[in-house]
A = this chain, B = another copy of it.
Amino acid sequence: MTLPTVGIVGAGQLARMMYQAAIPLEIPVRLLAVRDEDGAALIARDVMIGQADSLDDLRAFAATCDIVTFDHELVEPEHLRTLESEGVVLRPGAMTASVVVDKRDQRAAMQRIGAPTPAHREVATTDEIAAFAREHGWPIVLKAARGGYDGRGVWICADVTSAGDVFALMQGRPLLVEAFVRIESEFAVQVARRPAGEMVAYPAVDTVQRDGAFHESIAPSSVPHARAQEAAAIAMRIADAIGCVGMLAVEFFLADGHLLTNELAARPHNSAHYTIEGCVTSQFENHMRAVSDLPLGSTALTAPFVATVNAFGPKDGSDPADTLADALSVEGAHVHLYGKPPRSGRKLGHVTVTGEDRGDVLNRARTAANILMRGQGAT
């Protein structure tokens, strides 16, 4: 018996790592790639070329798969609803996608299940922002309701003037204002959920953003155990509430000792890349198991500490593969390159190190990642 074919819309690094996880389980995978040279398309046997924003392409792709899942959140929810109405099995489905694609709907879902969030409000004028700031103080955070990613679409504004600049930039697209939170720490919890609701949660993991983009993670999180437990419970309630199938990542802040729920992603997430070596079952394997409706695997850590550091394209535009040999010389460094053309500042890979000491694993992962990022000229 052959398992159902899982189609992945998009062929970036998430699809590439899902593909790797599917091989040992004999889960047949088919990709919808934009180009033959997309990171995941480079290594996969069964690739269709097409556009994720074309309903025709999505329909043609889905017709050749049993289950459809996603490398990214760029598919129009309206297209997803159409496909579902035509009988396509989407995991996650259109309802989940419509929530995560819009930060207003994310916030609404969090409030519905009683998850604490920063104070927030949809705003259409600078007057409304000024009113919000009178209640919650300056600075405030403005977020594009849609299309934000890796720090894009988030602005911290100290006054009405800078908020007005964001309005001008956004040209009427919907904005959310949020209270600026003085964060003690930032962490994430990921959940894998099967169609009938069976779930597993991963350990809370500390995350570090830099310039708004995910930069590094260390597991387990150093937040108090009770807060980590609370976060896991919230993440699972959200997964249920939005009917997520597959991986859900939930980002949290700790502020003043209290938990605040930040953002959601209904897919494998950078904050859990550490699970490839750091947990018994990686987020990619559990995503493929969940969407294939197979039993989920253990999320236990494989070592006392696990650090993951992203590698971005060197400033000189050279390829991290040029310095791969040196990076592999770092003891225990697990290097993951994404098969993407190099470009300065582009996320091209990550490094994970597991071990007994928190500082040591972080140090080794950073050392190897820095080697990948140093460019050809430096030594």
Known: A280-B332, A303-B302. A319 touches B23 (CB 8 A): no
Decide if B24 touches A319 in the complex (CB within 8 Å).
Answer: no
- For the complex, give the distance between the alpha carbons of A332 and B324 in Å: 32
Nearest-CB distance from A256 to chain B (Å)? Answer: 39
- For the complex, give the distance between the alpha carbons of A347 and B329 in Å: 35
Residues of B within 8 A of A318 (CB): 1
- Digitize A324-359: 1 where CB-to-B-CB distance is under 8 Å, 0 elsewhere: 110011011011110100000000000000100000
- Asked whether A60 is an interface residue with its Cβ less than 8 Å from the other chain, the reply is no
- For the complex, give the distance between the alpha carbons of A300 and B280 in Å: 17
- Asked whether A108 is an interface residue with its Cβ less than 8 Å from the other chain, the reply is no
Closest B residue to A336 using CB positions: B24
Decide if A24 touches B334 in the complex (CB within 8 Å).
Answer: yes
Known: A20-B23, A325-B295, A328-B289. A42 touches B43 (CB 8 A): no
**A:28-48 near B, CB below 8 Å:** 41-45, 47
- Asked whether A298 is an interface residue with its Cβ less than 8 Å from the other chain, the reply is yes
Residues of B within 8 A of A20 (CB): 20, 23-24
- Asked whether A2 is an interface residue with its Cβ less than 8 Å from the other chain, the reply is yes
- For the complex, give the distance between the alpha carbons of A349 and B165 in Å: 60
Closest B residue to A327 using CB positions: B295
Listed residue (A3, A20, A324) with the most chain B CB atoms within 10 angstroms of its CB: A324
User: Which size class do A's interface residues fall under?
Assistant: 35 or more
Decide if B337 touches A24 in the complex (CB within 8 Å).
Answer: yes
**A:148-165 near B, CB below 8 Å:** none
- Asked whether A74 is an interface residue with its Cβ less than 8 Å from the other chain, the reply is no
Decide if B23 touches A328 in the complex (CB within 8 Å).
Answer: no
- Asked whether A321 is an interface residue with its Cβ less than 8 Å from the other chain, the reply is yes
Closest B residue to A302 using CB positions: B302
- For the complex, give the distance between the alpha carbons of A271 and B23 in Å: 20
Copies of this subunit = 2
- Asked whether A56 is an interface residue with its Cβ less than 8 Å from the other chain, the reply is no
Residues of B within 8 A of A294 (CB): 324-325, 328
Decide if A321 touches B16 in the complex (CB within 8 Å).
Answer: no
- For the complex, give the distance between the alpha carbons of A23 and B2 in Å: 24
- For the complex, give the distance between the alpha carbons of A331 and B322 in Å: 40
- For the complex, give the distance between the alpha carbons of A1 and B323 in Å: 10
Listed residue (A16, A25, A42) with the most chain B CB atoms within 10 angstroms of its CB: A25
- Asked whether A77 is an interface residue with its Cβ less than 8 Å from the other chain, the reply is no
Nearest-CB distance from A238 to chain B (Å)? Answer: 25
Listed residue (A20, A23, A322) with the most chain B CB atoms within 10 angstroms of its CB: A23
Residues of B within 8 A of A332 (CB): 280, 297-298, 300
Which of B16, B300, B321, B331 is in CB contact (< 8 Å) with A1?
B321
- Asked whether A84 is an interface residue with its Cβ less than 8 Å from the other chain, the reply is no
Closest B residue to A293 using CB positions: B325
- For the complex, give the distance between the alpha carbons of A2 and B354 in Å: 28
- Asked whether A26 is an interface residue with its Cβ less than 8 Å from the other chain, the reply is yes
- For the complex, give the distance between the alpha carbons of A294 and B294 in Å: 37
Residues of B within 8 A of A280 (CB): 332, 334, 354
Would you mind naming 12 contact pairs between A and B with Cβ atoms under 8 Å apart? A1-B318, A16-B23, A19-B23, A20-B23, A24-B337, A25-B335, A25-B337, A26-B321, A280-B332, A294-B328, A295-B329, A298-B331
